[in-house]
Chain A
Amino acid sequence: MKIIRRSVSGTLESSDIMFQLESSQDGKNHIELDSSVEKQFGDSIRSTINQTLSNFNITNADVSAVDKGALECIIVARLKAAIYHSVSEEDRENKAFKS
Chain B
Amino acid sequence: MNKIKNFEAFNPDNIENKIESYITHRIENNKIVGSLEEAIKKSGLKDGMTISFHHHFRNGDHIINNVLKTLDRMGYKDLYLASSSLNVCHEPLIEYIKSGVITQIDTSGLRGPLADAISHGIMENPVIFRSHGGRAAAIESGELKIDVAFLGAPSCDPLGNANGYSRDDERANDVICGSLGYAKIDAEFAKKTIILTNHIVSYPNIPFGIPESQVDYIVEVSDIGDPGGIMSGATRFTTNPKELLIALSASKVITNSGLFRDGFSIQFGSGGASLAVAQFLRQPMIDRNYRARFALGGISGSIVDLHEEGLIEKLLDVQSFDLKAANSLKNNRFHQQISSTYYASPMNLGAAVNQLDIVVLSALEVDVNFNVNVLTGADGIIRGAIGGHQDTAAGARLAIVVVPLLRGRIPCVVEKVNTVVTPGKCVDVLVTDYGIAVNPARKKIIKTMKENHIKLIDIKELQNIAITMTGKPKAIEYKEKVVGVVTYRDGSKIDEIHQVVD
A39 contact set on B, CB distance < 8 A:
379-380, 474, 476
Separation of A41 and B473 alpha carbons in the complex (Å): 6
Q: Is B408 an interface residue (CB 8 A)?
A: yes
- Bound-state CA distance A42–B380 (Å) is 15
CB atoms of B408 and A40 under 8 A apart: no
A40-B379, A41-B409 known; A71 and B476 CB under 8 Å? Answer: no
8 Å CB contact of B408 from A36, A42, A44, A72:
A36
| Minimum CB distance partner of A43 in chain B | B474
Determine whether the beta carbon of B476 is less than 8 Å from that of A15: no
The reply on A14 being an interface residue by CB < 8 A is yes
Least CB separation from B378: chain A residue: A40
Q: Are B409 and A37 closer than 8 Å at their CB atoms?
A: yes
Candidate in B378, B409, B471 with the most chain A CB atoms within 10 angstroms: B409
What separation, in Å, do the CA atoms of A14 and B408 have in the docked complex? 6
Q: Which of B390-440 contact A (CB under 8 A)?
A: 407-410
User: Contacts A69-B410, A70-B409; is A41 near B379 (CB within 8 Å)?
Assistant: no
Question: Is the C-beta of A2 less than 8 angstroms from some C-beta in chain B?
Answer: no
Quick check: B469 and A40 within 8 Å, CB to CB?
Answer: no
> Smallest distance from the beta carbon of B471 to chain A beta carbons, Å?
6
Q: Flag whether B470 is at the interface (Cβ < 8 A).
A: yes
- Which of B379, B469, B471 is A44 in contact with, Cβ under 8 Å? B471
Classify the interface of chain B: helix, strand, loop or mixed: loop
Q: How far is the CA of A72 from the CA of B473 in the complex (A)?
A: 12
Residues of A within 8 A of B470 (CB): 41, 71
B228 to chain A, nearest CB (A): 25
CB under 8 Å from chain A, chain B span 284-329: none
| A21–B378 alpha-carbon span in the complex (Å) | 30
The answer to whether A44 touches B474, judged by C-beta atoms less than 8 angstroms apart, is yes
The distance from the CB of A18 to the nearest CB of chain B, in whole angstroms, is 14
Assess the B408–A69 pair: CB atoms within 8 A.
yes
Does A6 sit at the interface, judged by CB under 8 A?
Answer: no
A30 part of interface (Cβ distance < 8 Å): no
Can you name the residue of chain B whose Cβ is closest to the Cβ of A44? B471
Q: Give me the interface of B with A, judged by CB distance under 8 Å.
A: 378-380, 407-410, 469-471, 473-474, 476
Report the 6 A-B pairs with minimum CB-CB distance, sorted nearest first.
A69-B408, A40-B473, A69-B409, A39-B379, A37-B409, A15-B408
